[in-house]
Chain A
């Protein structure tokens, strides 16, 4: 059995595939549900998603080829020296993207039409019509929204892929090469299948519930990625300190810095030997068997910032001004006219209310 099927490799590829497909499927589901009416735009954005995915895959394959070439020519575990830095950097980038896009996803739910319209505007490159006076922030926002469809799957696939490649390459040197192919194929297939199921399910769920729940999941993943990035950088520094010993320590004493440790279990590692089931906890909840001050604080800090952000946003939406800032005198009108009553007005006045609503906000 171990000669033909490596369980660690299966788990790693399964996990990486699932993580990738979850994010890709969220995007696809979103596109499908938001842009159902605009086939052309939908097609275009879907293509972007797939472009990001396949470009990520391509780079992964190139990296894999390069890595394997390096292994066999240098014969050294050279990837070990930079593996953690890669993981940290990719985790951080993925975390930032998920965080930014996540907020957009939530708000998008409430403004499907405008989103569609704006995206259409962007995609058709009709900014020229509006002239050079397009707001910088708006442009950035549009840029982000435009590129999110490409960047998110790209970075995700790249990170997961390189992680998997590096791991598989690493394990290949300790396990017979015959144990790799079946495990990789089954892992990828299972991950993709379950991801596809989620995509299908997601498409049929009510949009908002799906968006909110999947955004919650995404933020969980993002928080995990953030703590993982901090952890990876710390672990990288530690492994540089202890030098060549790192590989032989597994999860035992010496695999972590006692002075930074908050807890350490000599088991349940999400990384060591494929992480087994703990890898899933790591991917979704950011679990680690070896928490550091840095990883714990960063995790909590991340959530604090996210909570603060959403609470402030909500406050602003309801009250019409930022917390701790007195509403301006003009704003008094906007508070009454802005959100709640404005909404009621809009029932009556229809399209114009949107325009006026906006104008009111501007004056705020």
Chain B
């Protein structure tokens, strides 16, 4: 399964034959296969048309892409999201289930159909129930005849890097989101892969320059990537051309992409290892048998040996992407019209599992996909209420500068991704900088020509300020691209220019059909309330559209201290204790009061003591059952003996 060597010149040539924009069509039958990419375990994987790894989608800038999906999984629903593509005018083709579409149920079909006006390196993956790490993930390359770097390279090499699990996501998620995992420790991958395999060989010819399009299609781990003996010249991140930047090592978080040029050495006769190393800082615990590195080779001469990679550095010093400058030199968007502040928090809810929160809200999918609410809610669509509490909606007006201030109150790295846009990273703090407002950083310290990308890493306990222009009406998720955190709710929804959407957007029949098959409503607010007439125009039924009763909600919060049952239990326990001690004391005094007096006073009372002593002893004797007579005999005997032995003792005076 070596695909690194795939050279797409032929493909480019084919595209070049087609004048102007073409329509590129793929028929994808999604189904289960068995694969063993790391040689350690056979496992079911989700492939396409009987193949895994799934195909790389190639289009030219300006093309229309049509993907006809047939879900043959049998036991799972699916969907496809085309990561990084803006879906201009086609927000309903974006792919997230419960956001812009209903799930494609087993046996059902759905068509994605949209045009692509961005060049660069992207990928596509399932966007439902943490499904893509099971294998439904692949690169999507938009070739650009007008690329400013068109003449700088001879060949293209598409390369994915990823983490790999040996268990299916459904089981892993069940464990991850359970009370047995209260710290929210993310399952640790079993291995790392390059192009969904290991020991990858990339043939190079001396002197030629290659454009590597590298995509982290992993579920969780960021990856350090370096090539021994070769420099990388970065020219694109997440579909945004940059001024060339030299790097000896790069870091790609889950979902990030980077294109870089590597010029093959003139006269090289040996082969060179290259390596991807998973960011183990993310792992809660590192199993003893985990190899978090994966090796590949730049092969100049396939008859020569493949050298072992050099020692992995103790401290990684990857290229810092904050220093990249977009090729178009777009300057910082100033004076944001709307600023959204989001604190990243991990906490436990009443079911004992660990959830992720933006501010105090953990994402829960609505009953009606958010897009369909936006399309049917009429003028209510500008009121965030209709989208439900737990979709964490923000309604954006059109053509405004929007700012997202992220404060990481968690000690983990989080790669945040915005659908439908790329964003300027105008400020990104170091680790442990605390919340942005407390850092005293002002606008003047922001980057003047900021890097743009669609996925950026928020540092542990740090902060980050992102800006973008709301020029793309649609419903766009903003979420951490660690798939575990998608499951635990680290998502918010941006509803951008919903009234504009209502005017311009029409949903294809098959998208509504998917909802009907699943019995999901396509009209109403997040809770399914609110009605429309035959023309899908809002019927103003009073508070119906603002009625969220019955909306999907997360588990309740953990009780903070004593609840009623706790107080009852504590009161009962205290009563038991007091009563119990009283009974013990009562018995003690009633039984042996004489003994207390015994030591002080001699006489009548003392004999009461011996009397009760006798009965208590008798009680025991009676309780014996067996050997009563002899037992009693013994006792009597002993007393008698004592009588003799201890003659003159106090007791004998009885």
Q: Which residues of A are at the interface with B, using a C-beta cutoff of 8 A?
A: 33, 37-38, 102, 106-107, 109-114, 116-118, 120-121, 126, 129-130, 133-138, 141, 206-209, 211-213, 215-216, 219-220, 223, 241-245, 248-249, 253-255, 257-259, 262-266, 285, 291, 296, 299-300, 302-304, 306-307, 310-311, 313-314, 316-317, 320, 338-340, 342-344, 346-347, 350-351, 353-355, 357-362, 364
Contact = CB atoms under 8 A, between A and B. Distances in A.
Secondary structure call for the B interface: helix
A364 B619 CA distance: 9
B580 A223 contact: yes
Interface stretch (B17-25, B350-358, B360-368): B350-358
Contact of B600 (A111, A206, A338): A206
Contacts of A212: 584-585, 588-589, 592
Contact of A303 (B347, B576, B595, B636): B576
A306 B615 CA distance: 20
Contact of B596 (A102, A206, A357): A206
B641 A343 contact: no
Contact of B609 (A110, A211, A215, A362): A110
A249 B594 CA distance: 54
B183 A117 contact: no
A136 B627 CA distance: 7
Nearest to A112: B595
A346 to B, nearest CB: 5
Given A212-B585, A212-B588, A245 B185 contact: yes
Contacts of A133: 627, 630, 633-634
B642 interface: yes
Interface of B: 179-183, 185, 284-285, 347-348, 350-352, 354, 558-559, 561-563, 565-567, 569-570, 572-573, 576-577, 579-581, 583-600, 604, 607-643, 645-646, 649-654
Ordered nearest first, which 4 A-B pairs have the shortest CB separation? A361-B618, A254-B182, A135-B631, A343-B611
A110 B583 contact: no
A136 B618 contact: no
B73 to A, nearest CB: 31
Contact of B562 (A112, A117, A265, A347): A265
A360 B618 CA distance: 8
Contacts, number: 319
Given A253-B348, A296-B573, A317-B612, A351 B587 contact: no
A134 B630 contact: yes
Secondary structure call for the A interface: helix
A303 B578 CA distance: 9
A117 B619 contact: no
6 contacts: A129-B641, A207-B599, A208-B592, A263-B569, A361-B632, A362-B622
A30 to B, nearest CB: 12
A135 B621 CA distance: 9
A355 B591 contact: no
A206 B350 CA distance: 53
Contact of A107 (B591, B594, B637): B591
Nearest to B557: A253
Given A111-B613, A357-B614, A209 B596 contact: yes
B615 A249 contact: no
Contact of A245 (B183, B585, B598, B620): B183
Contacts of A243: 180
Contact of A339 (B596, B598, B612, B643): B612
B588 A353 contact: no
A213 B581 CA distance: 9
A263 B563 contact: yes
